[in-house]
């Protein structure tokens, strides 16, 4: 063909080769990028699927255990005449089981509410210090074992638009974790209000077991639970901190996790931009 | 083994409420019941207290229920074991039955049903009338004599005929051999070997496993440096296999 049209074969072929190489390499690059994207995406999906499966397994366990206990004691009461003392003891167990069950149910409802964004209530400008103190006051009976102190060195109120039910959920989860992951004789929690660069930092410092460095980024993920996943014993839903982070985001803020410098314990910091109060 | 006449039932269950409720009912039924809240103490209590029946949960801290089950089955094939688990899918039931459980109840269960199953299991054992001589006859899944390569293991006398002659096997060696044989062609991790073979948990003594394998190789391999039966699997553990 080259001879037929009397073309300079070398030049012509060289140019064509270049174009072919260019087009091919672009194609290869696109295919490669596509493959990598698909691969990364499927990996992500697989991970999420696995976590979801684990979550269902765990949550089933969390729901079935109190139900099993309740059924067992009720059937025992039907079958035997127990002494009043024994009855009172086992009724106490049953009440605890019902509390466990109620807590699990509200956890799952919270998740549904947040994911579908159908939570109740508006964002009302409130003083955060007071909100936290009020929450502590209202739920004192739940945190009897834990010493909770609120500190506000600046003395000033921090007004911020707050959705009360959501914010309570955030506080409840952080406080529950502080008690759950705690082996101190007397669990304690210090809540500090600090102003840093026009941002309000609310630090929740506990005296628990702390958080391993490798876990810090992961604990806010949905369904993630700290510790070994292969371990069949780990309890919990893996939802608490996922809810916390989402509530923080809905309040245009963020939440971070770390360990205390001064002593043993974890610290969760809720960071809220204060300029919102003027808006 | 002194017998007070009452049947002993060991409950391995980590939920305090359920464990106590079971103990209460079994005691009211006339049994002697005791609770172990985790796998390690469960295995220890099984050894020392020698119960007639075991009620076992699957999701346990430390060693899980399936490992406990396998560990016990290596030594005692007849002890009636009833699994009581929140995991009630057929896969879980099949897994339990594969490892040699006698009965499987899913939580939440019916109390009367549970008590009747317990009674039935204990009655069946008393027919067999061999509760006293445990361990000695614990081998109906595995043949009494097992041969591979040029080796012959006689489990009834705990001896082995190997290339270098006849050797007496310790209880632990017999247990590990049974574990390997029952998992022939399938890898066993150090963790599995420790949990099932020794009833340990944690990473403290994985060296124990390695040292033990060295011993087994010395017995059964023609060249212990180049093992063909007890092979290492990098970052997994060990695998036992041989040709027919």
B109 interfaces chain A, CB cutoff of 8 Å: yes
Q: Is the CB of A76 less than 8 angstroms away from the CB of B14?
A: no
Q: Is the CB of B18 less than 8 angstroms away from the CB of A90?
A: no
pLDDT in tens, A148-186: 888 988 888 888 998 888 888 889 888 888 887 777 888
Query: pLDDT above 70 covers what percent of chain A?
Result: 86
Mean pLDDT along residues A103-118: 78
Q: How confident is the model at residue A264 (pLDDT cuts 50, 70, 90)?
A: confident
> What does each C-alpha distance from A46 to A1, A37, A50, B54, B232 come to in angstroms?
54, 14, 6, 38, 30
Spatial distance between the Cα atoms of B76 and B79, rounded to a whole number of angstroms: 6
Of B15, B22, B28, the CB nearest to A80: B28
Query: pLDDT above 90 covers what percent of chain A?
Result: 24
> What does each C-alpha distance from A113 to A109, A119, A221, B209 come to in angstroms?
6, 5, 17, 51
Which of the residues A59, A66, A75, A230 would you substitute to probe the B interface, choosing the one with the greatest number of B C-beta atoms within 10 Å?
A75
Compute the mean pLDDT over every residue in chain B, rounded to the nearest whole number.
84
pLDDT of residue B4: 62
pLDDT of residue A24: 93
> What does each C-alpha distance from A183 to A177, A238, B102, B230 come to in angstroms?
12, 20, 38, 43
Give the pair of three-digit tokens for residue A262.
């001064």
| ipTM at complex level | 0.72
- Minimal Cα distance from A234: which residue of B? B61
Mean pLDDT along residues A199-221: 84
pLDDT above 60: residue A20: yes
Mean pLDDT along residues A28-40: 95
Spatial distance between the Cα atoms of A73 and B23, rounded to a whole number of angstroms: 11
Q: Are A61 and A69 in contact (CB under 8 A)?
A: no
Residue spans per domain, chain B? 8-128, 171-240
Query: pLDDT above 90 covers what percent of chain B?
Result: 32
pLDDT above 70: residue B163: yes
Nearest of B2, B91, B7, B97 to residue B54 by alpha carbon: B7
Q: Would you call B18 helix, strand, or coil by DSSP?
A: helix
- Minimal Cα distance from A73: which residue of B? B21
Name the DSSP class of B194.
I
Q: How confident is the model at residue B141 (pLDDT cuts 50, 70, 90)?
A: low
- Minimal Cα distance from A61: which residue of B? B86
Mean pLDDT along residues B10-17: 92
- Minimal Cα distance from A96: which residue of B? B17
> Cβ contacts (< 8 Å) between B58 and chain A: which residues?
232
Spatial distance between the Cα atoms of A89 and A91, rounded to a whole number of angstroms: 6
- Minimal Cα distance from B201: which residue of A? A231
Q: Is the CB of B86 less than 8 angstroms away from the CB of A60?
A: yes
Q: Is the CB of B86 less than 8 angstroms away from the CB of A64?
A: yes
- Minimal Cα distance from B25: which residue of A? A76
pLDDT of residue B164: 80
pLDDT above 60: residue B132: no
Q: Is the CB of A76 less than 8 angstroms away from the CB of B111?
A: yes
Greater model confidence, A240 or B200 = A240
Query: Where is mean pLDDT largest: A66-75, B132-141, B169-178?
Result: A66-75
Mean pLDDT along residues B164-183: 84
**Under CATH, which number does the domain A123-277 receive?**
3.30.565.10
| Strand boundaries in chain A, DSSP class E | 123-127, 147-151, 159-163, 188-196, 199-206, 254-259, 266-273
> Cβ contacts (< 8 Å) between B36 and chain A: which residues?
none
Spatial distance between the Cα atoms of B78 and B42, rounded to a whole number of angstroms: 18
pLDDT of residue A231: 41
Taking the CA of residue B107 and the nearest CA in chain A, the distance in Å comes to: 6
The answer to whether the B8-128 and B171-240 domains have the same CATH topology is no
Instruction: Give the A window 23-62 contacts with B, CB below 8 Å.
Output: 57, 60-61
pLDDT of residue B202: 55
Of B17, B25, B87, the CB nearest to A97: B17
Nearest of B100, B96, B230 to residue B173 by alpha carbon: B230
Q: What are phi and psi of A251, to 5 degrees?
A: -95, 20
B202 interfaces chain A, CB cutoff of 8 Å: no
B96 interfaces chain A, CB cutoff of 8 Å: no
B92 interfaces chain A, CB cutoff of 8 Å: no
Give the pair of three-digit tokens for residue B63.
């060693």
Helix or strand holding residue B151 (H, E): strand B151-154
pLDDT of residue A98: 93
Strands B32-36 and B81-85: unpaired
Compute the mean pLDDT over every residue in chain A, rounded to the nearest whole number.
83
The CATH label, of 1.10.10.10, 3.40.50.300, 3.20.20.60, 3.40.718.10, for the domain at B171-240 is 1.10.10.10
How many residues in chain A?
279
Q: Is the CB of B109 less than 8 angstroms away from the CB of A68?
A: yes
CATH 3.40.50.2300 corresponds to the domain B8-128: yes
Which of the residues A232, A234, A235, A236 would you substitute to probe the B interface, choosing the one with the greatest number of B C-beta atoms within 10 Å?
A232
Q: How confident is the model at residue B138 (pLDDT cuts 50, 70, 90)?
A: very low
Name the DSSP class of A229.
S
Q: How confident is the model at residue A236 (pLDDT cuts 50, 70, 90)?
A: low
The CATH label, of 3.90.1640.10, 3.30.1490.190, 3.30.420.110, 1.10.287.130, for the domain at A1-118 is 1.10.287.130
Q: How confident is the model at residue A219 (pLDDT cuts 50, 70, 90)?
A: confident
Q: Are A136 and A143 in contact (CB under 8 A)?
A: yes
Q: Where along chain A do the CATH 1.10.287.130 domains lie?
A: 1-118
pLDDT above 60: residue A279: no
Query: Where is mean pLDDT largest: A17-26, A267-276, B233-242?
Result: A17-26
> Cβ contacts (< 8 Å) between B108 and chain A: which residues?
64, 67-68, 71-72
How would you class B195 by CB atoms within 10 Å of its CB: exposed for 0-12, middle for 13-18, buried for 19 or more? buried
pLDDT of residue B133: 43
Q: What are phi and psi of B162, to 5 degrees?
A: -120, 180
Spatial distance between the Cα atoms of A59 and B168, rounded to a whole number of angstroms: 50
Q: Where along chain A do the CATH 3.30.565.10 domains lie?
A: 123-277
A205 interfaces chain B, CB cutoff of 8 Å: no
Q: What are phi and psi of A205, to 5 degrees?
A: -105, 125
pLDDT in tens, A74-90: 999 999 999 999 999 99
Spatial distance between the Cα atoms of B106 and B102, rounded to a whole number of angstroms: 14
A67 interfaces chain B, CB cutoff of 8 Å: yes
């Amino acid at each position: 063909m080259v001879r037929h049209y009397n073309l300079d074969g070398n030049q012509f072929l060289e140019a064509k080769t270049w174009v072919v190489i260019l087009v091919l390499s672009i194609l290869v690059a696109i295919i490669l990028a596509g493959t990598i994207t698909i691969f990364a995406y499927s990996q992500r999906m697989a991970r999420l699927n696995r976590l979801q499966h684990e979550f269902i397994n765990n949550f089933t366990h969390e729901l079935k255990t109190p139900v099993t206990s309740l059924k067992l004691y009720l059937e025992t009461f039907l079958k035997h005449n127990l002494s009043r003392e024994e009855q009172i003891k086992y009724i106490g167990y049953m009440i605890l089981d019902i509390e466990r069950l109620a807590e699990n149910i509200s956890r799952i409802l919270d998740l549904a509410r947040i994911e579908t964004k159908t939570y109740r209530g508006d964002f009302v400008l409130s003083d955060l210090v007071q909100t936290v103190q009020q929450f502590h006051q209202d739920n004192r009976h739940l945190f009897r074992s834990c010493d909770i102190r609120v500190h506000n060195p600046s003395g000033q109120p921090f007004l911020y638009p707050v959705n009360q039910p959501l914010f309570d959920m955030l506080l409840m989860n952080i406080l529950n974790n502080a008690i759950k992951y705690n082996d101190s004789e007397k669990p304690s929690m210090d809540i500090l209000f600090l102003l840093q660069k026009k941002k309000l930092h609310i630090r929740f410092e506990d005296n628990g077991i702390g958080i391993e460095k490798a876990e810090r980024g992961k604990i806010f993920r949905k369904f993630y639970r700290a510790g070994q996943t292969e371990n069949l014993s780990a309890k919990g839903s893996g939802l608490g901190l996922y809810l916390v982070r989402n509530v923080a985001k809905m309040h245009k803020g963020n939440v971070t996790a770390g360990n205390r410098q001064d002593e043993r314990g974890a610290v969760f910091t809720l960071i809220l931009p204060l300029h919102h109060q003027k808006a | 083994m002194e017998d007070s006449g009452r049947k002993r039932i060991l409950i391995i269950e980590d939920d305090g409420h359920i464990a106590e409720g079971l103990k209460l009912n079994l005691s009211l039924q006339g049994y002697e019941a005791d609770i172990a809240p985790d796998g390690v103490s469960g295995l220890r209590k099984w050894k020392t207290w020698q119960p007639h029946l075991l009620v076992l949960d699957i999701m346990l801290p430390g060693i899980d229920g399936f490992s406990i089950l396998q560990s016990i089955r290596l030594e005692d094939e007849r002890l009636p074991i009833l699994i009581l688990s929140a995991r009630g899918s057929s896969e879980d039931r099949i897994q339990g039955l594969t490892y040699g459980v006698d009965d499987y109840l899913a939580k939440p269960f019916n109390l009367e049903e549970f008590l009747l199953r317990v009674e039935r299991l204990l009655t069946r054992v008393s027919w067999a009338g061999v509760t006293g001589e445990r361990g000695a006859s614990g081998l109906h899944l595995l043949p009494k004599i097992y041969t591979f390569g040029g080796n012959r293991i006689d489990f009834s006398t705990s001896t082995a005929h190997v290339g270098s002659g006849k050797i007496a096997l310790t209880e632990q060696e017999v247990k590990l051999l049974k574990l390997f044989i029952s998992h022939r062609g399938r890898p066993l991790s150090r963790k599995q070997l420790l949990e099932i073979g020794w009833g340990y948990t944690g990473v403290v003594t994985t060296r124990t496993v390695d040292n033990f394998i060295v011993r087994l190789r010395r017995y059964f391999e023609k060249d212990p440096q180049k093992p063909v039966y007890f092979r290492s699997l990098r970052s997994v553990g060990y695998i036992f296999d041989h040709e027919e």
